[in-house]
Chains A and B, each alone.
Chain A
Amino acid sequence: MEKTHHISSYCHIKDSRVSLNGNTLFISAIAEFSAFIKSASQHLETKYSKFYKMDNLSKMAFLASDVVLNHAKLPSDKENNIAILLSNRASSLDTDRKYQDSISEADNFFPSPSVFVYTLPNICIGEISIKHQLHSENCFFIFDTFDANHLWLHAESLLKSKKAEKVLCGWVDFDENNYEAFIYLVEENGTIAHSPNEIKRLYKS
């Protein structure tokens, strides 16, 4: 009999709020993203010095993934085969603009290496993989809007072909003052069926 898969947990970060499975973990009156995400990481005890070096997109993707993966209580004595499928609309545009600013004047041409390294959206997958020691399949998609069907199909394909035991999926979009993260973990165990309709329902919740 073919295995069915479930969504074991999900995290939202938006409107100065971090939630896990619909329950608020952290909420702040701070509207500005940098200050909010710093407070959130301290409140959630991320304790990862490299966090402060990341760009905004990576900080958000990293924190949302960290919440979900910590909740999953992964075994530390074996390698976890967790694939990562992320998506967004703005790619790395927020950081691209910052980098552009640093090279736009011929008389003040000092490109920043630490900004440049984040001028690709999939760098955030690398940050998550480094922290959780994942050497797994990964992909970052650019869509106009959140595409539950595409993520569902790709995650099911990875699980059914045994390319991964679990798949961390979601939407992490950051552009200027607009930000939103929705990350969920798909695996064999769980109570929420892994289906496009359920993914859409959780995304909108």
Chain B
Amino acid sequence: MTELRLELKEKIIEQLNLEEFTVADIADDDALFGNGLGLDSIDALELIVMLDKDYGIQLTDPKEGKEIFKSIAVLADYIADNRGK
């Protein structure tokens, strides 16, 4: 699980162009949206694409995304339980 959390932090920094962040800046329980990393709605869509492309998970319910993208820890748990790749 620690590896997956690290992998997600690296992917998020790279794919969402968070140039001002390093992996060490993101705590497992930091909020990804709002006051945390400050991600926006386009980032949310990009995360949905990432789940599909890299982990074979297709989100169909937007409400589901709101809960899943709460933090790295929550996202990693969801991926571990649902991944198809």
A interface with B by C-beta (< 8 Å): 38, 49, 52-53, 110-114, 117
Contact = CB atoms under 8 A, between A and B. Distances in A.
What secondary structure prevails in chain A residues at the interface with B?
helix
Interface residues of B, number: 13
Complex A-B, nearest 6 residue pairs according to Cβ-Cβ distance, in ascending order:
A113-B45, A52-B19, A52-B17, A110-B53, A53-B17, A114-B46
B67 to A, nearest CB: 20
A111 B49 contact: yes
Contacts of A53: 16-17, 42
B46 A38 contact: no
Contacts of B42: 53, 113-114, 117
B52 A110 contact: yes
Given A110-B52, A114-B17, A114-B42, 16 more contacts: A38-B19, A49-B18, A49-B19, A49-B20, A49-B38, A52-B18, A53-B16, A110-B49, A110-B53, A111-B49, A112-B46, A112-B49, A113-B49, A114-B45, A114-B46, A117-B42
Interface string B1-35: 00000000000000011111000000000000000
A129 B20 CA distance: 23
A80 to B, nearest CB: 24
Contacts of B46: 112-114
22 contacts: A38-B19, A49-B18, A49-B19, A49-B38, A52-B17, A52-B18, A52-B20, A53-B17, A53-B42, A110-B49, A110-B53, A111-B49, A112-B46, A112-B49, A113-B45, A113-B46, A113-B49, A114-B16, A114-B17, A114-B42, A114-B45, A117-B42
Contacts of A38: 19
A76 B38 CA distance: 24
Nearest to B53: A110
A39 B38 CA distance: 23
Contacts of B43: 114
B66 to A, nearest CB: 17
Nearest to B21: A49
Contacts of B17: 52-53, 114
A41 B83 CA distance: 39
